[in-house]
Chains A and B, each alone.
Chain A
Amino acid sequence: MNVLLNPELWSSALTLAIPIAFAALGGVFSERAGVVNIALEGKMLIGAFAAVAFASLFHSAWIGLIAAILAGALTAMLFAWATVYLRADHIIAGLAIDILAAGLTGFLFNSIYGQMGTPSDTPSLPIWHVPLLRDIPVLGPVLGHHEALVYLFFLVLGVSNWVLFRTPIGLRWRAVGEYPRAADAAGVPVLRVKFWAVVAAGAVAGLGGADLSIGILNSFSPGMTTGRGFIALAAVIFGAWRPWGSFLAALLFGFATSLSFQLQGTAAISKNILLMLPYIVTILALTGFVGRTTAPAADGQPYDPER
């Protein structure tokens, strides 16, 4: 039980959750517009690579961050073009992006950096020690000292929630995912809304990748996302397609990983068994044993305006 009282456990749970949470937010963006986004994994990987490449080139982590956003968005444009305008199968196109991203980042990594790996003087994002917050007892050590993207995440989360549920743009956005024909009849440019929703998803997924490479670390290694984009997809579902829900789901996954690190070597339970927990919880959530969730009605269906 001592483990649970260790602030390090909770603090690292949050740290580990944020990359997944960014990608999951991207998943909410695109699935609310009706595009199933299995390409999140690839966009994270591209974002992670772009962040390190540009951060080391310009000696600025912030430029790396912007590069990650743009790289994620550009990759998403390719995916959006295929799924929205060419009406490609979302799953197949998504897998294509994932495989392409893994190959391309590996190719670029080996072509540019080779055996030495990414430069060791690559800057990483600063750790912010938040005044007031860090002084609160109990919560302070958990919430008060994190890399900048953790705090920026909550800003992005708040804005996303507001846009999706409190603005006319959000109304159109969600309408396109629920009932595109009605949205079309009401004059909403369905394909354009879907396209930009997917691009926005790519941008935040890129941020998730940047958090991995220049937030938590200051280096890139091929395949470093290790399935976090897929876990994010599960977090979207577990979080009932809501921004806050997906964050809480990501937090659960972060917690399970953090717990597995903390218990490593204590022999009470294998870390590999603990690492299974998020996946088991996801299946339970999908089957409705832990909270019942419903997808946007037109999720995953390509929309053909001429039919």
Chain B
Amino acid sequence: MSARTIWPGIAIVIAFVVGGILTFAFGNDPITAYRALLSGSFGDVYSIASTLVVTLPLAITGIAVAFSFRSGLFNISAGGQYWLGGIAAAWVGYAVKLPAVLHIPLAMLAAVAAGALWGAVIPGLAKAYRGAHEVITTLMMTYIATDFGHYLLEGGPMQAPGYTPQSPPMQPSAIIATLVPGTQLTWAILLVPVIAVLAWFVLQRTSLGFSLRLAGYNLRAARYAGVNPVAAVLTALAISGGLAGFAGSIQVLGVDRRLFDGFDPSYGYTAIVVALLARNGPFGVLLAAILFGALDTGASQMQIVANVPFNLAGVIQGIIIFFIAAEGLLRYFRRRRSAPAAEPRAAAAE
């Protein structure tokens, strides 16, 4: 096993060690804290279900981000597309009357379409025709999405009667059934492995996936191979955005059951951490999403039991992604050990 393969694991260990030192420095016992973190996230059926409730949107947005990374595009706005998906699903969920068999799929479809259009049209065209880097355009689209959502809910057309900035509740026919009674975990969790397999299949086993990866790896070579670069950029961003929008619909239809002002776009950033930790592999994304779901869920238990602020979870996330980014450290160690030997060229990013 090469050092590079186990690097994500090393990054996780370093992060927890630093987190432990920080906990100790502020007068708390790291062992107690981590024990509470573990029991809060995996201790019983309820905590496992709560972990999976967070894992669900994280895994799907993580797959969305990984898909764009694999296609050579930096969609860092899964949060915005998630918001748009939430908006579309919420609207279909309260405004349309249908039997449940049709209602839920229609709401999900609307969310996928909204996320895909939000992710692809403006950033995609700006990239393809004007060379505008998608990092900035997708970032701006995230802010526009949240402002747009707030506009709809704060005295706008989607606000329910009253003063609270929230939409009317979903109709019963639009609510995804609960899997574990007494928790917010719905049947939608079963879709996550399906989506992971589908995303992997499209990328690795279809000609569409091949042309997307080729365009991401080397645009000029792709053009010689007959790939339309504009279509490749738009398709990759649309699939990525559609997945993020889908995650938004699952949150609204399964957990929140209406659209709130505080609908959280920060999943979009954690999704990036998830994708990078998994090196953009769809199955690694599942594991990474469980880890961060657990971190998020267990952190509140840790705060109550061990008196350690839940923000420690954010510190650990930040350190993990920092060391993933700083993979160049490996090169340093390797060079130290075999001093004069020429170092092999770093493999191109996956």
Contact = CB atoms under 8 A, between A and B. Distances in A.
A104 B321 contact: no
A103 B315 contact: yes
A104 B318 contact: yes
Interface string B305-325: 000011111111111011011
A96 B318 CA distance: 5
Contacts of B135: 38, 91
A111 B76 CA distance: 31
A107 interface: yes
Interface residues of B, number: 51
B314 A103 contact: yes
A104 B18 CA distance: 12
A98 B325 CA distance: 13
Nearest to B132: A286
B136 A270 contact: no
Interface stretch (A18-26, A182-190, A200-208, A272-280): A272-280
Contacts of A99: 269, 273, 314, 317-318, 321
A99 B273 CA distance: 9
Nearest to A270: B151
Interface stretch (A59-67, A130-138, A227-235): A227-235
A266 to B, nearest CB: 12
Given A92-B324, A93-B325, A107-B311, A270 B318 contact: no
B155 A107 contact: no
Interface stretch (A82-90, A140-148, A149-157): A82-90
Contacts of B70: none
A93 B137 CA distance: 19
A101 interface: yes
A288 interface: yes
Given A91-B74, A270-B156, A276-B143, A103 B329 contact: no
B349 interface: yes
A279 B318 contact: no
A86 B328 contact: yes
Contacts of A231: 143
Given A99-B273, A99-B317, A107-B315, A272 B151 contact: yes
B311 A95 contact: no
A287 interface: yes
Interface string B324-349: 11111101100000000000001001
Given A283-B126, A286-B126, A234 B140 contact: yes
B142 to A, nearest CB: 9
B326 A93 contact: yes
Contacts of B150: 272
A189 B144 CA distance: 41
A86 B147 contact: no
Contacts of A93: 322, 325-326
Interface in A36-51: 38
A78 B132 CA distance: 28
B99 to A, nearest CB: 35
A237 B133 CA distance: 11
B272 interface: yes
Contacts of A222: 311
Nearest to A304: B346
Interface in B126-162: 126, 130, 132-133, 135-137, 139-141, 143-144, 147-148, 150-151, 154-156
Interface string B252-274: 00000000000000000100110
Interface in B60-111: 74, 76
B26 interface: yes
For the complex, would chain A's binding face be called helix, strand, loop or mixed by DSSP majority?
helix
B322 A104 contact: no
Given A107-B315, A273-B147, A96 B322 contact: yes
Contacts of A91: 74, 76, 135
Interface in A85-126: 85-89, 91-93, 95-107, 109-111
A157 to B, nearest CB: 23
Contact of A272 (B130, B147, B324): B147
Nearest to B313: A103
A111 B151 contact: no
A283 B133 CA distance: 10
Contacts of B328: 82, 85-88
A100 B313 CA distance: 10
Interface string A189-232: 00000000000000000000000000000000010000100110
A12 interface: no
Contacts of B324: 92, 96
Contact of B314 (A107, A279, A280): A107
A87 to B, nearest CB: 5
Contact of A100 (B140, B151, B154, B319): B319
Contacts of A282: 136, 140
A237 B126 CA distance: 15
Nearest to A307: B345
Nearest to A292: B130
A19 B22 CA distance: 30
A42 to B, nearest CB: 8
Contacts of B329: 86
7 contacts: A86-B326, A92-B272, A100-B322, A102-B311, A222-B311, A270-B156, A279-B140
Interface of A: 38, 78, 82, 85-89, 91-93, 95-107, 109-111, 222, 227, 230-231, 233-234, 237, 270, 272-273, 275-276, 279-280, 282-283, 286-288
Given A91-B74, A287-B132, 16 more contacts: A85-B328, A95-B272, A95-B321, A96-B321, A98-B269, A99-B317, A103-B313, A104-B311, A104-B315, A230-B139, A233-B139, A270-B151, A275-B147, A276-B148, A286-B133, A287-B126
